[in-house]
Amino acid sequence: MSLIDIEETKENSSHLLPDQIKYVIIHHKKLGVSNKKTALIVGKEYDRPSLHPQTVKSVGEKYLETGEIANDWNTEGRPKAINEKESKRFQSFLKRNPRKSISEAKFTLKLSACRSALNKHALELGLGAYRAPTKIKISENNISLRLDYAIDMEDLENSYWNQYIFSDESSFSLYNSNGRTYVRRTVGGKFG
């Protein structure tokens, strides 16, 4: 490594030790210098006053165990919470059952991933949670039956209606108790 590379190493100080510094630590360790003294020497030489003796010890132990100084970083990140086969089943389930929650999908499909990971995966698949339409869908047949009933009831006398009690004290819900029903669908997709 040239002097220019060493100067760049001094300027680019991050929380990861560059290989050049690790080689110098190994050199001092081979000479029998203590961890504390090595940390002071190398820290001063490479403008790293916060170099800890435990770091020096870790670098030395790793070199003794493996004979290498390079870090074995996993560049792929964490393993996926859901594999391809499970992903297809999950996507198919949500498309067939847009009103089912992520928790219901997890339970039904026996998926091991947590609910938040599955929710994130659903969003990656383009299946966002949207408020369900509140309009009641009535068939053509029921529309005509309701109209006929309303016409029949329109001409009845007040004496007929006196036998019924109408109260505005009671409430009932056709949907969830809190009124929040969500459906999973793609952006711009049909309401479920």
Which stretches of 132-177 are assigned E, i.e. beta strand? none
Confidence at residue 93, expressed as pLDDT on a 0 to 100 scale: 93
User: CA–CA separation, 114 vs 96, rounded Å?
Assistant: 21
Query: pTM score > 0.85 for this model?
Result: no
Per-chain mean pLDDT for the chain: 80
pLDDT per position as a tens digit, 108-144? 999 989 999 999 999 998 988 888 777 777 889 999 9
Say which range, 141-145, 158-162, 172-176, has the weakest mean pLDDT. Answer: 172-176
Q: Going from the N-terminus, what domains does the chain have, and what CATH number goes with each?
A: 3-66 (no CATH), 84-134+179-185 (1.10.10)
